[in-house]
């Protein structure tokens, strides 16, 4: 199965679909990543806050050692926790992630949340730029940043984040944010791309049930195609090899204009718990 790639603004190329590991711990994380590599995934998303960097890194190292995949075929992405905002703290946090992952370089390193009340995200991004220059990081980005946070980073550091991972799904399309990302040259990456964090509404299930049936695909494949067809990079998660394979196989069909029109009726407001202007993660 051939997976398209995106070229980021720093010329780093990454697969157009990734594999998420949030809430996967210990052996479950190791086994899920091992299975995902076998299914064809080459982009893996973790975070210090997920408490699974060690098993995720070990699964990647073991796959490389076994010859199942080359290290340069894998993109490993992890995140800076809120507790480590600040220049020196960020440099130490990067070293900690490298140690837990057992890797010499992190391919993509992003700030998990901006924490504007703390107001140290620009300092952290400067530290990431320097860590990239030192070879610890390949590419640097952000997560859950609002457009104004991104613009400030660009203005104050002169470096544009390669991507911004935000909550995007058909019922939370973030049209204005995605337009700003495109203007800035920042790739939109989606967490919770199937909208499972707070459950799916009956209207979403109905609309995508019809779309999936019309295209002869699964419900999840239809939702993920909504992302990929618009240039959004989704990070779905599944421990099931069959579901993993389905979630990667989303490039053999296209949604129609009528499909997109039906999906446009599903948009809902962001859940206040996940508002980047106020959410605090440490």
Is residue 162 within 8 A of residue 8, CB to CB? The reply is yes
User: How crowded is residue 107: how many other Cβ atoms within 10 Å of its Cβ?
Assistant: 19
Instruction: Give the number of other Cβ atoms within 10 Å of residue 156's Cβ.
Output: 12
181 annotated to a ligand binding site: no
Within a 13 Å sphere around the CA of 139, how many CA atoms are in the beta-carbon half?
22
Count of CB atoms within 10 A of residue 13's CB? 10
Catalytic residue among 41, 50, 109, 121: 50
Rounded to whole angstroms, the Cα distance separating 34 from 66 reads: 11
Q: Is 50 a catalytic residue?
A: yes
Could you write out the DSSP letters of every residue in 76-106? EEEEE-GGG-SHHHHHHHHHHHHHHHT-S-E
- What would the two tokens of residue 79 be? 């995140």
Q: What is the length of the chain?
A: 282
Measured CA angle at 146 (ends 144, 149), to 5 deg: 105
| Best CA proximity match to 18, nearest among 254, 232, 256, 263 | 232
Q: Please tell me the distance from the alpha carbon of residue 183 to that of residue 114, in angstroms, as a whole number.
A: 20
Per-residue tokens: 219? 């419900």
CA dihedral 164, 167, 171, 177 (to 10 degrees): -30
**How far is residue 128's CA from residue 134's CA, in Å, rounded to a whole number?**
10
User: Residues annotated in the binding site, as ranges?
Assistant: 112
User: Residues annotated in the binding site for substrate, as ranges?
Assistant: 112
Would you please indicate which residues are annotated as catalytic (active-site) residues? 50
């Amino acid at each position: 199965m051939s997976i398209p790639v995106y070229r980021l603004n720093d010329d780093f190329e990454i697969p157009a679909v990734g594999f998420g590991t949030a809430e996967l711990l210990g052996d479950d994380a190791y086994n899920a990543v091992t299975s995902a590599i076998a299914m064809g995934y080459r982009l893996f998303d973790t975070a210090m806050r997920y408490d699974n960097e060690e098993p995720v890194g070990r699964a990647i190292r073991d796959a490389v050692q076994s010859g199942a995949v080359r290290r340069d075929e894998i993109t490993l992405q992890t995140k800076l926790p809120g507790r480590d905002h600040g220049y020196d703290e960020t440099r130490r946090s990067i070293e900690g992630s490298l140690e837990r992952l057992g890797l010499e370089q992190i391919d993509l390193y992003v700030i998990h949340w901006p924490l504007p009340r703390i107001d140290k995200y620009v300092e952290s991004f400067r530290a990431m730029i320097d860590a990239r220059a030192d070879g610890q990081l390949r590419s640097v980005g952000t997560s859950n940043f609002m457009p104004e946070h991104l613009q400030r980073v660009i203005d104050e550091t002169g470096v544009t984040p390669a991507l911004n991972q935000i909550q995007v799904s058909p019922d939370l399309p973030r049209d204005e944010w995605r337009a700003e990302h495109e203007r800035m040259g920042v790739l939109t990456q989606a967490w919770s791309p199937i909208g499972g964090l707070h459950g799916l509404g009956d209207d979403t299930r109905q609309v995508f049930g019809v779309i999936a049936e019309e295209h002869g695909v699964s419900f999840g494949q239809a939702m993920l195609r909504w992302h990929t067809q618009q240039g959004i990079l989704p990070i779905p998660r599944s421990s099931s090899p069959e579901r993993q394979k389905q979630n990667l196989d989303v490039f053999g069909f296209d949604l129609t204009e009528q499909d997109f029109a039906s999906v446009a009726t599903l948009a809902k407001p962001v859940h206040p718990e996940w508002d980047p202007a106020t959410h605090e993660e440490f």
